[in-house]
Amino acid sequence: MSTIFEIPLDVGTPQQFVITLSQVDYLLTLRYRNVSEGGWTLDIADTSGNSIIEGIPLVTGCDLLEQYRHLGFAGALRVQTTNDPDAVPTFENLGAAGKLYWVVG
């Protein structure tokens, strides 16, 4: 059985914050790329700001960290929108209908 934790986000705003996921502190930075085929991206760093991964697109239907398993993440990151689980989060709905989840197990 999986444990699911919703990562709290401010609605429709780029943001940076420290969060503990599976007993490890990370600095998450969410940015919106307002260009054709753009959208939300995620950077993950340690709490000193040393980059671990940069520019992960927030797409639905997959574990955003799957290709980075070798970096030792103890869970999965998933994005979903409540109105349409397959819809990519928009600038206006990330943090409201667009959710980011940490999944363990």
Interatomic CA distance for residues 64 and 78, integer angstroms: 6
Average pLDDT estimate for 86-101? 94
Tokens of 82: 């409540």
What number of CA atoms fall less than 13 Å from residue 56's CA on the CB side? 24
How many structural domains comprise the chain?
1
Cα–Cα distance, 48 to 100 (Å, whole number): 23
- For residue 45 the two structure tokens come to 């760093």
For 81, phi then psi, to 5°, come to -110, 140
What per-residue string of b and e applies to 1-10 under the rule 16 or more CB within 10 Å gives b?
Answer: eeeeeebebe
What residues make up the domain containing 16? Answer: 3-104
pTM of the model: 0.93
Taking 90 as the threshold, does the pLDDT of residue 83 lie above it?
no
Q: What is the band of 21 on the pLDDT scale with cuts at 50, 70, 90?
A: very high
Backbone angles phi, psi at 7, to 5 degrees: -80, 120
Which tens digits make up the pLDDT trace of 42-62?
999 999 999 999 999 999 999
Single-letter amino acid, residue 10: D
The pLDDT value recorded for residue 11 is 95
